[in-house]
């Protein structure tokens, strides 16, 4: 029986894993894999004794594939949770928690919308345009699970709003989604930096209240005919999105 918990990588053999030191470890006979999906059960099984957390790197993301743990620990805690979740007080707490999170998300959406407006800082003659733009960006970036910079806590909210705006403009007002970017280290970052500079220059006209032709302006055209937009899955903003 292992005495310590550890992070491991998957092995081609389903009953083996690879340690952080590169060692191939056999799974103890009385252990089974608890797949991800129930955070409470996972947390309790981890507290019950040693576990091996299986993680796999996919692109830039580190994905959890579950935990190996004592079968008895898993079954006992699963049964305890099943009993708890049948009680009326648990269901009440669950509903209250959902309502609290929904309220928090609604508050955050309003706050994020206001931060976008502050970053745009459009002239009063373009106030309606700024509000529409902020609404579009918030609708895309704020929802839980969107995978956008708006969902990270690593940077202040004003920086999140700026990065989300620049990312939205990159997808909606440029040909970024159809560009062929050479697979050279730093090239995509440089492309984003150049496009961000163009986006920021475009915003300056609206901040200064300069007359802009809606028929030729990529920004106004995007608001009339928005493109299908995929999330920017990288939570960390690029140097092209934020000022140094």
The per-residue pLDDT string of the chain (244 residues; one tens digit each, 9 = 90 and over) reads: 688 899 999 999 999 999 999 999 999 999 999 999 999 999 999 999 999 999 998 877 889 999 999 999 999 999 999 999 999 999 999 999 999 999 999 999 999 999 999 999 999 999 999 999 999 999 989 988 787 888 888 899 999 999 999 999 999 999 888 888 888 888 888 899 999 999 999 999 999 999 999 899 999 998 988 877 654 543 344 444 554 4
CA-wise closest residue to 237 among 167, 136, 133: 167
Question: Is the separation of the CB atoms in 163 and 200 below 8 Å?
Answer: no
Cβ atoms of residues 156 and 243 within 8 Å: no
Task: Dig out the tokens for 225 from the structure.
Answer: 């005919």
Task: Supply the pLDDT for residue 229.
Answer: 63
pLDDT of residue 240: 47
Give the whole-angstrom CA distance, residue 195 versus residue 167: 10
Residue-range domains of the chain with CATH = 6-84 (3.30.70), 107-224 (no CATH)
CA distance 179 to 143: 27
Give helix 157-173 / helix 88-120 axis angle, nearest 10°: 70
**Contact present, 29 and 42 (Cβ < 8 Å):** no
Residue 151: predicted pLDDT: 87
């Amino acid at each position: 029986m292992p005495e310590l918990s550890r992070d491991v990588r998957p092995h081609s053999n389903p009953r083996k894993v690879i340690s952080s030191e590169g060692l191939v470890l056999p799974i103890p006979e009385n252990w089974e894999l608890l797949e991800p999906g129930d955070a409470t059960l996972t947390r309790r099984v981890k507290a019950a004794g040693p576990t091996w957390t299986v993680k796999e790197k996919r692109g830039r993301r580190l994905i959890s594939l579950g935990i190996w743990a004592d079968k008895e620990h898993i079954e006992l805690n699963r049964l305890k949770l099943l009993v708890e979740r049948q009680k009326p007080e648990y269901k009440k707490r669950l509903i209250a928690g959902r309502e609290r999170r929904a309220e928090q998300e609604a508050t955050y959406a309003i706050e994020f919308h206001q931060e976008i407006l502050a970053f745009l800082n459009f002239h009063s003659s373009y106030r309606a345009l700024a509000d529409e733009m902020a609404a579009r960006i918030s609708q895309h970036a704020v929802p839980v699970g969107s995978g956008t910079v708006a969902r990270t806590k690593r940077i202040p909210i004003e920086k999140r709003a700026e990065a989300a705006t620049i990312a939205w403009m990159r997808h909606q007002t440029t040909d970024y989604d159809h560009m062929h970017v050479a697979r050279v280290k730093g090239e995509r970052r440089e492309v984003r930096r150049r496009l961000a500079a163009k986006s920021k220059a475009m915003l300056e006209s609206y901040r200064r209240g300069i007359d802009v032709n809606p028929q030729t302006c990529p920004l106004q055209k995007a608001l009339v005919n928005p493109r299908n937009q995929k999330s920017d899955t990288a939570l960390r903003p690029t140097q092209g999105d934020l000022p140094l």
